Amino acid sequence: MLRSLFLHLSRAGWARRLASGRRARRAAARFVAGDTLDQAISAVRRINAAGLSATLDHLGENVTDRAEAEAARVDYLMLIDRLAESDLQAHPSLKLTQLGLRLDPSFCLENLRLIARQATQHNAFLGIDMEDSSAVKPTLAICGQLRSEGFLNVGTVIQSYLYRSEADLRVLLQQGFHIRLVKGAYQEPASVAFPRKQDVDANFDRLCRVLLEHARDCPAPAGTPQGRLPAIAAIATHDETRITFARRCAEELGLPHHSFEFQMLFGIRSDLQRRLADEGYPVRVYVPYGTEWFPYYMRRLAERPANVIFVLRNVIRP
């Protein structure tokens, strides 16, 4: 029930307006690195100092006019330049509805093409996030188009709660994409997504094995830079049962630790992030920043009841 409530609020404009107060923003600070790129860069420096790499996401989605999408494009071009100037182990990640996917897919593609071109010039990787099920098909189509144009520095996300994901994963791996495997954080009907958590988990493990088998059969070339370029197989979860499965599967397949990576979210299970890194696994932290934090924040609350308890403490505290 709580999950459905928070997912509903993530899409509600009135809820976003009510949450503009200082206390709500203070509570969200656990999951969002700050409002500005400078604050996000500072957070990534701390993450790198702890032996972890990062993904930077300038928050925003479902823009309602072209000017917003063009502004997002400019922000990402600036982000790519800043990362190129630094020695940070990080790459950018973005959502296509932030670049105008729902306004005009061709317009979105052109915005993304400019960003991908800039990333290519700096030898940087670019992650394309996956959104709700209505955006999956056009997102994959745009990713495929970029690939056909020679942009080999683009990767995307597969969500284990969708029925279609195994078929999508196999096609993407054949095309050579880097893949980030997640469970999925949007509210979906039972017609397209597994309604039961145990089925989502079982599919996550199934897709994890497919992904790790691919990492074994198609290893990254020698000398592939670590940090700015992620491993071809990224297992993104805070679920220790899923992490244990991935580790055992990798051992069965004879995969060395560096051949895949674990990914987790900023502000969630930092202890687990450090423990995996200490054991020799590459760990990447997804670092969101920006003023459009509310939808992302609501999805984080929907994921774990413990997050809600943390927020209540911060909202009630003077």
Which residue numbers are catalytic? 129, 180
* Distances 117 to 4, 44, 179 between C-alpha atoms, Å: 39, 24, 20
Helices 105-121 and 133-148: crossing angle in degrees, nearest 10, is 50
CA distance 131 to 280: 31
* Helical ranges in 132-195 per DSSP H: 133-148, 165-175
CA distance 176 to 240: 28
Residue 7 makes CB contacts below 8 A (sequence gap 6+) with 186, 187, 298, 299, 302
The one-letter code for the residue type at 256 is P
- The beta-carbon contacts of 13-17 under 8 Å, at least 24 apart in sequence, are 15/294, 15/298, 16/294, 16/295
Indicate the SS3 state at residue 121: helix
The token pair at 273 is 């992030």
Indicate the SS3 state at residue 135: helix
